[in-house]
Structure 1
Amino acid sequence: MLTLYILLLVVFLIAVLATRGSIAWAHHRNILDQPNHRSSHSRPTPRGGGIGIVTGCVVGIAGAVALDFLSIHVAAALACGLPIAVVGYIDDRHSLSARSRLLVQIFCAASALWLLSPLTTLTIFGTTLSPELSAAVYLIGIVWMTNLYNFMDGIDGIAAGQAIAIGLCWAAVAGLTHAVAGIVFALAAAGFLVFNRPPAKVFMGDVGSAFCGFFIAVAALQMQQTTQKSLILWLLPAAPFILDATVTLLVRLMRKQRPNEAHRSHAYQILSRKVRAHGPVSLGYFLIATFWFGLVLWWRFGHSDALSPEALFLLAGLPFVVVGLALGAGRNN
């Protein structure tokens, strides 16, 4: 285990150094996020700092394979997120069309699912889906997670904080060896957070946010296979992001607004404007993920005969959804 702890320390340090280097590079190449009427920041800020998370994850996953903590096919599935990171970096420099980004995401998701095969068939509210339908749901879920994480990366520290919460919850419930991908991810995000905590010196950018969403989805599938526990359970610590993004999207669709149109109507954005600060909101999302949804995961992990994972996810998330709707998620722009 000592070697694993050393590896995690190396991951954190590499993420710190890579993020610091990305700041200098962004200033040199003028890769700056200029504030506008939709921004939650007020000064030009370097973007693309998610390179630190990507670099830390690559080193950590490669080290975990070398130390025999992770199988090569799982590492390859997680590495399918690298083309998404590359496309995200290009998009940070020169805007790409949504279609081209989506095609890359679908290809990467399909490749990851192939590498993780045979896939566990999904059971939703007692109904077991066919292998083909399960694979289709997984594909859509990975692509949605990839994009929603990008949508939710809008204020200082929130995306990195959620990444840390997810990795910590997985490790606390399943143990370090089962959740090695998640804890590597958390330490890489912590290294990035050194420079992204409010007031942020760098933004994650699409290179980091899209990669993070993809990584979480694939790592959750791996957790399902390793522990034989429902995928829905492992997504519980990600519930604040999943629910905020999904509810906001559904409200906007019902109001006949274009889903790809830029806006500031996520619950976390409304909250940050109300409190006029990013830190309390980002910390609040972290605490909710860890000490509400994380505790629900911990309880259900030891009580297999309790509520179904789907029902538990909905019940645990209901107060969060109600508050989001009361704030005007999807409407207040």
Structure 2
Amino acid sequence: MTALLDAVAAAGKRLVAAAEGKITFDARQALARDGDLALQEPGLWSPNRHCRLVACRDGWLAVSLAREDDRDLVPAWTGASFDTDPWSAVIAAAADRSAGQMAVAAQALHLPVAIVGEAAPVTPRELPVGAARDGLVVDLSALWAGPYCAGLLAEAGHDVVKIESPGRPDPTSHHMPALDTRLNGAKQHVTMELDDPDLIATIGRARVLITAARPHALARLGLDEASLFARNPGLLWVAITAHGWRGAAAMRVGFGDDCAAAGGLVRWLDGTPNFIGDALADPLTGLTAATLALEAMADGRSGLLDVPLAGTAAHFAGAIA
């Protein structure tokens, strides 16, 4: 963990420089949820006990089953009976199958499952110059990575508005109030249906848009690249996803723990991977996305910043290797 904290501290120096010294950064706090959750020591299980590293015939998987809907899909994934404990079913099925077979079958069901070490470090593409250097930041994200990115932009002095659907609000304020205060306390808060024409109008005059949903889900709401950039060519869209914005990766589901393992951000002990922290891909991606956004704004750049959790985790895994 010390090596990771050193890498995060180095990334924090770049963030502070991009924010022109307006941000106070502490590496240890950046990776913490401020005591909202009763966490346990990491090992085969993540500290929140929602994700487990599972041995396959030829490798390892990271499997997240935090949601009831995902646990309900385990019989379809593994072939186990409906009365079998979900984790027992996954462990038994994986022992007889390859990691690739298990991962492909899980991804077809949109389960948050990844092969340990599968992701490559992310390399953001160069964005065109010609946009304004400041303006409204619209935060449509939820949970940790996206809100952390937007919260850092607010701390850096930018005007940030967090827009939430009344039917599906960000659950962080309910489950983790201390973290919610840190991530979202400095933002304006607006409740609005995400298909409301006023949202499109707001994005049309924004400088930055932050999302943390898959592109096809956003497109159903009219939030697609062609439409939004036609309306607002100077927009900087920070797109945070599990595995990437384009291609087959765009359909994949993932969370902070399984994406950290996908990036290889684990500790190997006698041939067995172990988690080294709590949902690490989330804060690392929020930090990275905020830094890239601040640098892009300073340079007057616009376009889509593709910042995947797994690829970001891979970058930090490489930094501490």
Q: Same fold (TM over 0.5)?
A: no
With structure 2 as the length reference, what TM-score do the two structures score? Answer: 0.32
Q: Larger % of strand: which?
A: 2
**Structure with higher helix content:** 1
